[in-house]
């Protein structure tokens, strides 16, 4: 029984000693925090909470030191842990308020709105939290409108692209039809020209008749015409000899 009392006393002494050390590091952390030496303040707060991590003041101030260093994700995690483990409304209101600030700085607007609402549930009279909530809601509304406008722009862009693709396709189809039509017309013309060339009864302009294809009647007419031309030539020469030609004689000196 006596031994049990000694053990209890030793445990109590250890607890008192740890509590004193905890307060010491918290005080040092607070001093450094006031000096804006947030990194060293963070280290002191971490020592103050020890391995158990149950002290509210140490955990809360650690979250503040992280926030001041712009470690918003770590700060948010710290305040979320405090809110999840505490039943004190005042602590919950402040933890959710700071969690909302951390989420807002991280541009997690929906999470910040939720945190501020939970803070107000625990302390409806906090005007600063109410203001922050209104600010976060306005930022969220702006973001949603911007996302909506961007979505509409993308939709219109896709629509315009589809229209352009359809126009290009229609133009290509029309060009192909025109090319096919021109090709058919050219083929028909070439076939017609080929038939005209192969037709023995049809001569092209400026083309000499093929003597192998001259009919007997045409040959007789051509021969008769040649004979008439030759007769006319002979008659002209005969008449010229009968009349005589006038000569110009140069005089010799």
* DSSP string covering the chain: -HHHHHHHHHHHHHHHHHHHHHHHHHHHHHHHHHTT-HHHHHHHHHHHHTTT---HHHHHHHHHHHHHTT-HHHHHHHHHHHHHH---HHHHHHHHHHHHHHHHHTT-HHHHHHHHHHHHHH-TT-HHHHHHHHHHHHHHHHHHHHHHHHHHHHHHHHHHHHHHHHHHHHHHHHHHHHHHHHHHHHHHHHHHHHHHHH-TT-PPTTPPPPGGG--HHHHHHHHHHHHHHHHHHHHHHHHHHHH------PPP-
Which pLDDT score, from 0 to 100, does residue 165 have?
A: 76
Which pLDDT score, from 0 to 100, does residue 194 have?
A: 53
Closest CA to 68 of 35, 113, 117: 35
Radius of gyration (C-alpha) of the chain in whole angstroms: 57
Which pLDDT score, from 0 to 100, does residue 135 have?
A: 96
pLDDT in tens, the chain (253 residues): 333 334 444 434 445 555 678 889 999 999 999 999 999 999 999 999 886 667 889 999 999 999 999 999 999 999 999 999 999 999 999 999 999 999 999 999 999 999 999 999 999 999 999 999 999 999 999 999 998 888 888 777 777 777 777 777 777 888 887 877 777 767 666 655 555 544 444 443 444 445 455 566 766 776 677 667 666 656 654 554 443 333 333 333 2
Which pLDDT score, from 0 to 100, does residue 227 have?
A: 67
CB distance 59 to 37 below 8 Å: no
Task: Give pTM, 2 decimals.
Answer: 0.57
CB distance 65 to 98 below 8 Å: no
Total Cβ atoms within 10 A of residue 154: 10
Which pLDDT score, from 0 to 100, does residue 211 have?
A: 47
Total Cβ atoms within 10 A of residue 36: 8
Which pLDDT score, from 0 to 100, does residue 15 have?
A: 54
């Amino acid at each position: 029984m006596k031994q049990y009392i000694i053990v209890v006393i030793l445990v109590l002494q250890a607890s008192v000693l740890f509590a004193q050390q905890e307060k010491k590091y918290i005080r040092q952390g607070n001093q450094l925090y006031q000096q804006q030496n947030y990194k060293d303040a963070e280290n002191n707060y971490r020592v103050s909470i020890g391995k158990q991590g149950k002290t509210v003041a140490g955990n809360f101030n650690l979250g503040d030191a992280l926030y001041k260093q712009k470690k918003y994700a770590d700060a948010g995690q710290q305040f979320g842990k405090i809110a999840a483990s505490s039943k004190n409304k005042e602590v919950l209101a402040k933890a959710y308020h700071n969690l909302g600030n951390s989420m807002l700085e991280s541009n997690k607007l929906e999470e910040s709105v939720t945190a501020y609402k939970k803070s107000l549930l625990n302390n409806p009279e906090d005007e600063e939290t109410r203001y922050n909530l209104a600010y976060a809601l306005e930022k969220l509304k702006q973001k949603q409108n911007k996302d909506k406008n961007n979505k509409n722009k993308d939709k219109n862009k896709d629509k315009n692209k589809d229209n352009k693709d359809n126009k290009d396709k229609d133009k290509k189809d029309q060009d192909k039809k025109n090319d096919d039509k021109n090709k058919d017309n050219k083929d028909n013309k070439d076939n017609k020209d080929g038939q005209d060339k192969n037709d023995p009864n049809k001569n092209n302009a400026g083309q000499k008749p093929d003597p192998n294809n001259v009919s007997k009647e045409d040959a007789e007419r051509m021969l008769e015409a040649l004979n008439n031309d030759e007769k006319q030539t002979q008659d002209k020469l005969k008449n010229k000899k009968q009349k005589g030609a006038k000569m110009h004689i140069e005089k010799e000196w």
